[in-house]
Structure 1
């Protein structure tokens, strides 16, 4: 989507606020002994209260309102009977639509105290996302996002999952520019135009390179097996840089 009028930006900010509030509320509600289905139910209720439609369900017939991935599950985890335990890493990915506008956000939450290496990975995962967002702006190269994130990751001894990319969003969950690498990509010559809406969502890992599908045809796992975190915002490219729309409020 390309923002051309204030009402479009207002609509995008509206759904951005809703998905951000939902994700953070789910993170706060999370507790040991809770199943991922119960956590998803909290998210669904919050979205329904705001008149928002869960995007994975409406777009892809995903079996849940939100994607909840625990530990070895790195993305697209199906809410179910899995019990969340102390020390787990839980990724919550919330995307939804309202009044024809879509926004997408996600974060990896720690369930209580985690190992120091995982704590560091979480902190650096958020910094990796911020590094990519700093490269967003009208006229800037799309590849600059992944190049900057790649330098950040390599400098700290991390790897990046190289087949889970950022994407355009706004009038649909996934749209132009389709795939935006969050790893170094010399072949992409595209540039961001003013008003372009996209996500920035690197998957930072301590050894993983690829995401592979599990037996349920949805849940993704790291190959080779390694911890992975993901942080995601929906942003608009402006002449002054990135405007983040998935902020709670």
Structure 2
């Protein structure tokens, strides 16, 4: 892998437009639970069954209890070297965009500003009726109310069965289509539309790089596949300048 690592560093050193996509693997290195499979059980509920608009409509107290529990866990986690390396990469590359599927807010804490949180954030709340939305890291009540209209607030995340925030996908496609280098980091490459981003980048001439603990379904199609901890690999890549 050493040779590939050096080649990726060389490619990045000459790149002007870089898009990085991050997934749960980056957060797991900070101790953030993935909430998938058996590990995703909470009081005998699957996370996928609670992170749904119909679940919130039927049992808002239960869903908020789950999200307050998640906020409590994630709030104890800190950015790891991968998060800080991506913030550094933002400083080094003239046109950089970090797209994350994670909702834990750790990229922002690490200093990333050119950041698109595709699936929202655990630390945002928004009204179910009016346009009120805010970042709120305080301990919330069981079912918090909107200070503007009095209706229920909900977590500011994209749930299963919901579309992305309008404009997010369009901007992602636009920036990926113009990238010199596309990095896929810590993602299983199973969830659409993000799983297809690498192909969009490749079709438009970008060098594609996978950084993941284990091979993914996309590994064989990437120009470079670096397997190992993102927290070990990314700091090496930002030593390029």
TM-score band by shorter chain is: under 0.3
Higher helix proportion (structure 1 or 2)? 2
Higher strand proportion (structure 1 or 2)? 1
Q: TM-score, normalised by structure 2?
A: 0.28
Q: TM-score, normalised by structure 1?
A: 0.27
- For the pair shown, the structure with the greater C-alpha radius of gyration is 2
